[in-house]
Amino acid sequence: MENKGLWAFGTRQVVYGAIGAALYGAFSLLTNLVPLPAAGNITFRPAVAVLIFFGIAYGPWVGLLAGFIGNTLGDMLAGWGFYWNWSLGNALMGMIPGLAMLMITNYRNKIDIAKAIGWGAAGVAVGMMVASLTEMMVGGIDLNTALVGYFTPAFIGNLVVIVILLPILMVAFAAVNARRGR
Amino acid sequence: MLVSWKYRPRNTFIQRLDPRSRLIFLACVILSLTIPNIWDIRLIFPLFLLTLTLYLLAQIEWKDVRRAWLFIFFLIFFIVGLNGMLSGRGGPTSVMNDTSAPLFTLPVYFPGTTWGFSLEITLVRIVFAITQMTRMLSMAILALPLPYTMDPNIYGVAFRKMGVSDKVSFTMDLAFRFLPTLARDLSITIDAQRARGYEMDSLKGGIVARLRRLAPLIVPVTMQSTVTGEEVIDAMDLRAFGTAPRTWLKDLHFARRDYLFIALGVSIFVAFCVLKWGFGIGEFWIPPALVAGLN
């Protein structure tokens, strides 16, 4: 039941949404011990590259579900609790790169990889901005702290992660697909 | 192959509760602390005692949760607690902008050099660190027993019966089932790469080198999971998943104890909101006796 539409929501999206969430949760759990300098309770998450990759490879629904459920799982199991605004931010961070799913066809091509990084950066910017600004309401912080203390380190940290790890994941995925004949 | 959590049926009050009432109660406790943004230890500590009691009622064997607890203790005491005490990170504005007189100063300098800085430890930050740790423990000890005491077969139906759509419920169900499997795959991959001389904890190189060093862990696990995903999709498509409204094998029914448990959770949430927004109680609080003792 192959469904390639951007907003299709079938078996493929259900399964990869779940796998993306579990991977994001498991990798986040591994690195939830590494806080970012100058940030509030924001941790360094190489897992963000996996989230962006799932959005790019399987579409916006998968990115959205993987971001929301994965962040919730990772935070809950690590004892951070549930912060709806950060889960929403992570959902957007996965969903926005998913909008480029149909534009990216060759995972080895440098232009396609650059496009993926660009859409990933847009996802990180929007997702972290929404989470940081809503933290003013949830955490009672001021605008300066939201932008300088939360958004900036989260954006830069996640951007570095996707610039380095996303191309590696894309090239590996191309190899796996070629071997599978898909 | 799917690996399940270390779930075991036990005849305890916690496991007799409907999973929905436990999830709703958990949501109520977390929202009670985060929506009105409670930082008052006088409200947080009784809540901690309540959640600790519920944890003990679950009667989970120590050997099952030992590793999880070591991880949580390390995170809460050494990362969050020390961070809170040294910098006030993650706290409300009153703690982040703390300008009170330091109780003592910790010099942090490279040995034999004048490079470094001094950390000023204040009473505000010490009390904040204790508050922050108690706050996080209150949520962690409520979430931790879930995988050990909730039958993995009822995750999906629990979310469905809470009004979530079939497909999203199934996504959540699968995510809960995949998490321990993927965590196990990650652990096996770490061991396998270490056997090949991989140094995960090596501090050599900058941030780029360290990120690149994560690739031998992240790539195999992620790629294997994409292959597994295709097999799961084929299996589900063969069973015509998503072609018609779904039925669930197990059914759930609320008992009187579930209504009481949910009522308790909702009451805590309402009480915290009323205290914070109605009476202004819930902001970061320092025992006056401690402040007086310093003056």
**Which domains, ranges and CATH numbers included, belong to chain A?**
11-180 (1.10.1760.20)
- CA B293 to chain CA centroid, Å, is 36
- Which residues fall within 8 angstroms of residue B90, CB to CB, at 6 or more apart? A40, A41, B80, B83, B84, B132
Q: Considering only CB atoms, which chain B residues are within 8 Å of A23?
A: 178, 182, 221-222, 225
Report the chain A residue with the minimal C-alpha distance to residue B177. Answer: A22
Contact between A13 and A118 under an 8 Å Cβ cutoff? The reply is no
Q: How far apart are CA A150 and CA B275, in angstroms?
A: 28
Of B143, B172, B208, the CB nearest to A77: B143
Of residues A151 and B115, more confidently modeled: A151
Q: How far apart are CA B107 and CA B125, in angstroms?
A: 17
Residues B147 and B55 in one domain: yes
Residues B268 and B234 in one domain: no
pLDDT in tens, B184-232: 888 899 889 989 988 766 656 677 887 888 899 999 999 999 999 999 9
Of A29, A78, A140, the CB nearest to B93: A140
pLDDT in tens, A105-148: 999 999 999 999 999 999 999 999 999 998 877 666 678 878 88
DSSP output for B33-87: HHTTT---HHHHHHHHHHHHHHHHHT---HHHHHHHHHHHHIIIIIIIIHHHHHH
Q: How far apart are CA A18 and CA B133, in angstroms?
A: 31
Residues B120 and B241 in one domain: no
Picking from B179, B181, B193, B276 by the largest number of A CB atoms within 10 A of its own CB, the best residue to mutate is B179
* B108 within some domain: yes
> B134 is in which domain, residue-wise?
22-151+255-295
CB within 8 Å: A10 and B223: no
* B2 within some domain: no
Q: How far apart are CA B211 and CA A161, in angstroms?
A: 7
Report the chain B residue with the minimal C-alpha distance to residue A78. Answer: B72
Amino acid letter for position B124: V
Q: How far apart are CA B102 and CA B97, in angstroms?
A: 13
CB within 8 Å: A19 and B136: no
Residues B36 and B108 in one domain: yes
Most confident of B119-128, B197-206, B262-271: B262-271
Report the chain B residue with the minimal C-alpha distance to residue A66. Answer: B175
pLDDT in tens, A22-74: 999 888 877 755 555 555 556 678 899 999 999 999 999 999 999 999 998 88
Contact between B31 and B166 under an 8 Å Cβ cutoff? The reply is no
B23 in A contact zone (CB under 8 Å): no
Q: Domain count for chain B, please give it.
A: 2
Interface of B with A in 184-213 (CB under 8 A): 186, 207-208, 211-212
Residues B79 and B220 in one domain: no
Residues B36 and B136 in one domain: yes
Interface of B with A in 252-281 (CB under 8 A): none
